[in-house]
Amino acid sequence: MQSVILAAGDSSRFWPLNQKHKSLLKIMGKPIIWHTLNGLKKSGIKETIIVQGPEKDIEKELNNVSGIKTVFITQKEPKGMGNALWQAKSLLKERFLVLNASKIDCKEIIQNIGRDKVALFGQKTENPELFGIAKLEKDRVMKIVEKPDKKNAPSDIKILGVYLLEPSFFESYSKIKKGMYDFESALSEYVKKKYVRMIILKRESSSLKYPWHLFEVEKYLMDIFLKRKVLSSFVSKKATINGNVFIGENTKILENATINGPCYIGDNCLIGNNSLIREYTNLENNSIVGANSEITRSIFQENVHVHSGFFGDSIFGKDCRIGAGFITANRRIDRKTVKTIIKDKKIDTGLDFLGGIFGDSVGAGIQCGIMPGVMIGSNAKIWPGTQIFKNIDG
């Protein structure tokens, strides 16, 4: 079985963390797409085709680090999933697996494939209006309806971003009208001609549609792969480390700091005196956490420096600089789920807890605060004493 990873989109719904492809954001020291490749490798797939964008940022990041043979193909313009797959057509000679770059749980998904030559993967959903929904006869896919309302949904099974196909799929694709959603159109035609089995997964599969979905990816990876390991010799005897905590080389943990796992702290980091780092926190290389800080369920990319403050359920792009006394409010005062704005549209995240989301190189002065679900664009500068109630462009 061959495999194709699609990683050529512009990640527009992932603002403000879309300075590069979203699958290049790091969790536990590796890009998300690396974790996907690792899952393919453990499933016995020895080679994969990666379709990337014209920037070729995927190829640059993964050079000689993935542990699996990769063939890189470039989609010159963002013309949708069907066009991206078409770029790999000449290399596909047998059944092949198509998946998004963020399918870190692909090993579990592949285990469900038997002798199927073609198959789709699905899960139950209570929100059919957000997905492609399958019309089924027993386990056969008869039709795919895009984003129906609940009254008109043919089932409660949504289509996941993993597809087992044969080269004959391209015959259907070549005949349909081309556009951003031509893959879905071709798939609907394909299932009319071919027996396509629906494999329904019981466990919720990871998704990376919006920035806050990074928390799901982080939790999955930490729960399965994170083990207690301390590589640094600069950990104070007066520091407290509980549970599964990874501490990288040359990282300094100062007196009276407390780290409650699961947590990942990369190389060359500094955790200041009396700081508290709590569960499901991911700090990439060269991060600095000032004295008297509290961080919980947050993700820092490389070289993020924060002084004293509270950072809860928040995400920081690389090279951010945050002044002392910064507070991220991570829960609404009325206890409703947190809503935010993506591409001028209000989105209910479905989360009870969500702090701020910051792009790359954001700078903030002292004594600032941000409301739940607010996003800050890359390179933005926040004046001291500012309280932020709505998104800020970079």
Domains, the chain: 2-207 (3.90.550.10), 217-388 (2.160.10.10)
Burial class (CB in 10 A: 0-12, 13-18, 19+), 199: middle
Of residues 225, 226, 219, the one with CA closest to residue 204: 219
Looking at residue 147, the DSSP 8-state letter turns out to be: S
Residue 267 in this model has a pLDDT that exceeds 70: yes
* Mean pLDDT along residues 356-363: 98
Give the pLDDT confidence score for residue 223 in this predicted structure: 97
Q: From edge to edge, which strands make up the β-sheet containing 369-370?
A: 240-242, 258-260, 276-277, 293-296, 309-312, 326-328, 369-370, 387-388
376-390: average pLDDT? 97
Dump pLDDT digits (tens) for 274-306.
999 999 999 999 999 999 999 999 999 999 999
Model confidence band, residue 205 (pLDDT cutoffs 50, 70, 90): confident
pLDDT (mean) for 156-177: 92
**Residue 53: pLDDT band with limits 50, 70, 90:** very high
Point out the least confidently predicted range of 145-149, 262-266, 314-318, 380-384.
145-149
Report d(CA 68, CA 107) in Å as an integer. 14
Is the confidence at residue 65, as pLDDT, over 60?
A: no
Nearest Cα neighbor of 214 from 137, 289, 304, 281 is 281
d(Cα 24, Cα 85) in Å, to the nearest integer?
A: 20
Bridge-based pairing of strands 345-348 and 339-342 is antiparallel
Q: What is the pLDDT of residues 218-242, one digit of tens each?
A: 999 999 999 999 999 999 999 999 9
Q: What is the pLDDT of residue 181?
A: 82
- Asked if 375 and 381 count as a contact pair (C-beta separation under 8 A), the reply is no
DSSP string, 210-266: SGGGHHHHHHHHHHHH---EE--SEE-TT-EEESSEEE-TT-EE-TT-EEESSEEE-
Q: State the pLDDT at residue 353.
A: 98
Given a cut of 80, is residue 206 above it in pLDDT?
Answer: no
Pick the range with the lowest mean pLDDT from 7-11, 71-75, 193-197: 7-11
Q: Point out the least confidently predicted range of 4-8, 104-108, 206-210, 285-289.
A: 206-210
Decide: helix, strand or coil at residue 339: strand
In the chain, the percentage of residues whose pLDDT exceeds 70 is 99
Task: Summarize the confidence of residues 92-120 as an average pLDDT.
Answer: 91
Residue 288 has a pLDDT of: 98
Q: In angstroms, rounded to a whole number, what is the distance separating the alpha carbons of residues 223 and 225?
A: 6
* Per-residue confidence band for 63, with pLDDT thresholds at 50, 70 and 90: low
366 pLDDT above the threshold of 90:
yes
- 8 A C-beta contact, residue 270 and residue 254: yes
Q: Which residues contact 137 (CB under 8 A, 6 or more apart)?
A: none
For residues 16 and 376, give the distance between their C-alpha atoms in angstroms, rounded to a whole number: 7
- How far apart, in whole angstroms, are the C-alpha atoms of residue 213 and residue 300? 15
pLDDT at 64 over 70: no
pLDDT tier, 32 (very low <50, low <70, confident <90, very high otherwise): very high
Residue 392 is given by DSSP the state B
Peptide bond preceding 54 in cis form (omega within 30 of 0): no
For residue 204, is pLDDT > 90? no
At residue 210, the pLDDT reads 93
DSSP 151: G
pLDDT of residue 46: 84
| Predicted local confidence at residue 67, as pLDDT | 65
What confidence category does residue 190 fall into, taking pLDDT thresholds of 50, 70 and 90?
very high
pLDDT(69) > 90: no
pLDDT at 344: 87
Q: Per-residue pLDDT for 167 more than 70?
A: yes
Cβ atoms of 120 and 163 closer than 8 Å: yes
Average pLDDT over residues 50-68: 82
Average of per-residue pLDDT values in the chain: 93
